[in-house]
Amino acid sequence: MIPVTKPYFPSREKLNTYIDGIYERQWLTNNGELVQELTRRLENYLGVENLLLVSNGTLALQIAYRALGLRDNRAPRHPEAITTPFTFIATASSLKWEGIEPVFADIDPHTWCLDPANIEAAITPNTKAIVPVHVFGNACEVEAIDAIANKHNLKVIYDASHAFGVKYKGESLLKHGDAATLSFHATKLFHTGEGGAIIFKRKEDLERARKMINFGITGPESIEELGINAKMNELQAAMGLCVLDEMEQNLAARAEVWHRYEQALAGTLQLQSRAKALDYNYAYFPVVFKTEAKAVRVAATLKEHGVLARRYFYPSLESVECLNSQKKQAISKNIASRILCLPIYNKLGNAEQKEIIELVNTELAL
């Protein structure tokens, strides 16, 4: 079976060395030595400051909302945040979980990111933030979104789960917004098994969040914040350090797979239009078919031959009942119905990829 992706497994020998150190220090969690080292190295690698490691990407979003004060318990009505319906459920469900109503605005039909032209019409007196997603690692129109946020005094939290290592105009894409969050889930380009991070624009927001992820505890007899347990542990950090050591070879292998797909399929299928001046990370290879029926048929044919493609992101989130959205988002719904992500990972072989491409092209010819 060829999965849609596989976790990257780094050198077992190097991982064992880090684990030996954990056993020697007898320090498993609570801002251990490896978490501190990974924080420093990620800030250096990504070219950012104010990075906070957490236990997963969903909690990264929730902590960011809390640290930036989106929820005011004294307010008579639920706060709102404008976000995209074309994303993984956690973007919206994390808002809902925190008592913030997700309000969907439609996407750009080419980039598949939140369209700034649709944001202002969705703003109400209850709007506290904009939560855009750098979909598949593609940069949102960050300048336009930041301008809208400044005009209406809104916070911006970018869900950058797919944007590890992506640069925009020569600098880290993660520098935009009041905060940007990352997921380090096992299937991500960079991972810690499970894990995540938040990059804050301001040091004071980082410091508040740092308290929050440890129950609000600031000392043996001091609790200053309403907190939760969202800390990354030393075993996660050990995996992350090993993966980071081998990041360049992982990226190079994925880039080769990505470009072979592009060469074979760009002429017959719709690909994502990426932002100009973007240094991409080749994390995903999504394609859009002419009809939903064709996308479903191709997915079924691939599965019959032991290949798993994913309808990612499907369904468009405004159709998810528990999110209570009233307004349909036509472009997101249309793209979501016709999209497939094809398998991509560093060890996808030429022969395996050739088979996938031939199966897709055979279905397209029917």
Spatial contact of 29 and 238, defined as CB atoms under 8 Å apart: no
CA–CA separation, 213 and 229 (whole Å):
5
Would you say how long the chain is, in residues? Answer: 366
Cα–Cα distance measured from residue 256 to residue 345, given in angstroms and rounded to the nearest whole number: 10
d(CA 283, CA 248): 13
Q: Residue 28, CB half-sphere, CA atoms under 13 Å: how many?
A: 0
List Cα–Cα distances, 97 to 7, 56, 237, 278, 294, in angstroms: 28, 15, 27, 33, 36
CA atoms of 311 and 288, how far apart (whole Å): 10
Q: What pairing do the DSSP bridges indicate for beta strands 155-159 and 167-168?
A: unpaired
Spatial separation of the C-alpha atoms in residues 135 and 312, rounded to whole Å: 11
| Cα dihedral value 101, 82, 136, 246, nearest 10 | -70
Distance CA 89, CA 273 (A): 23
Tokens of 150: 């400044």
Catalytic-residue membership of 328: no
| Active-site choice (167, 188, 211, 333) | 188
> How is 300-362 classified by DSSP, letter by letter?
HHHHHTTB--B-TT-S-GGG-GGGT--S--HHHHHHHHHEEEPP--TT--HHHHHHHHHHHHH
Number of H helices, E strands in the chain: 11, 14
Query: So which residues are the catalytic ones?
Result: 188
